[in-house]
Amino acid sequence: MMRDLTIFVNTSDNFEDCWIPFFTLFQGYWPDCPYPIVLNTETKDFQFDGLDIQCSKVAVGETRRLTWSECLARSLDAIETPYLFYLQEDYFLEGPVREDLIKTFLEEMRAGRADVIRIMECGGSGPWHPSQNPLLWEVDHHAKYRIALQAGLWRKSALRDHVRLHESPWQLEAFGSARARRKKEKVLCVNRDQFSKPDSEIFPYTPTGVVSGQWERQIVESLFAKHGIEVDFSLRGFYDSTAKKPKKRPFINRLYDRLRSLI
């Protein structure tokens, strides 16, 4: 039964500098993880002592740059297990993983009582409603972020069904949530009253270690130092929330993206 779930770490080759920190913390805080691991790379391979990591290398042989969603779709199509635990390379663990609860929630999915169980539920992702399981809440059908890409258990076919090959991750969350309102999926999340406080989280990390392509200093600097992880932060730089943001794409282009995703 352990082989019906894959730990799926979604990444791209441009974030290679995150892989050693991610798996150093992963191995330290989940040393006996019983599930196979897939790292969704484009062309690069990666190994880490003590972990069985398979790199998808979905863009090998391509002459063009694949979109984020094309990479995701190709990797999902190659995964054989019906369930996956979705992570990204900058979800840097800060404490032990509560594997017992991951197994409990996986049983909910096996029993057909959930298609998605969000393990990291951020404030503002609701509204929520009680479910039959007191450990879990039901995400409102019209929630702004009914589809979210924080850590979560997914029925693989459900995630694949939401992927549109032209979309960015932010578009998948925004437009995918709108599309999800037309579906009858069972989207659940952890009970935030029980699992959002320090030392109670199931997969404890702070969203997220990289913001707009740069390190989030308050998250990574002390965490990496604590675990002896050496990173040249100057290559990526630190995110500055006060810095001038790039101009938005023209309205007509954004409108086209929205219509393309919703039709």
The per-residue pLDDT for 114 is 98
pLDDT band of 119, cuts 50, 70, 90: very high
Please compute the mean of the pLDDT values over residues 189-205 and round it to a whole number.
96
The per-residue pLDDT for 3 is 85
Q: Which pLDDT tens digit goes with each residue over 218-245?
A: 999 999 999 999 999 999 999 998 866 5
Q: Say yes or no to pLDDT of 254 above 90.
A: no
CATH code matching the domain that covers 2-262, chosen among 3.30.1480, 3.40.1360, 3.90.550, 2.40.10:
3.90.550
The per-residue pLDDT for 1 is 46
Q: Could you tell me whether strands 83-88 and 152-155 are parallel, antiparallel, or unpaired per DSSP bridges?
A: antiparallel
Q: Say yes or no to pLDDT of 99 above 60.
A: yes
Q: Say yes or no to pLDDT of 249 above 70.
A: no
The per-residue pLDDT for 255 is 53
Q: Say what percent of the chain tops pLDDT 90.
A: 89
Question: Amino acid letter at 134?
Answer: P
Please compute the mean of the pLDDT values over residues 70-98 and round it to a whole number.
98
Using DSSP's 3-state secondary structure scheme, residue 186 falls into: coil
Token pair for 200:
């109670």
The per-residue pLDDT for 242 is 80
More confident residue, 250 or 59: 59
Q: Say yes or no to pLDDT of 252 above 60.
A: no
Which burial class, exposed, middle or buried, applies to 55 when counting CB atoms under 10 A from its CB (0-12, 13-18, 19+)? Answer: buried
Q: Which pLDDT tens digit goes with each residue over 140-189?
A: 999 999 999 999 999 999 999 999 999 999 999 999 999 999 999 999 99
Q: Say what percent of the chain tops pLDDT 70.
A: 91
Q: Is the peptide bond before 24 cis (omega within 30 degrees of 0)?
A: no
The per-residue pLDDT for 2 is 55
Mean pLDDT score across all residues of the chain: 93
> What is d(CA 35, CA 29) in angstroms, rounded to the nearest whole number?
14
Q: How far is CA 146 from CA 82, 138, 150, 241, 251, in A?
A: 21, 10, 12, 26, 25
Beta-ladder partners of 154: 84, 116
The per-residue pLDDT for 30 is 98
The per-residue pLDDT for 241 is 83
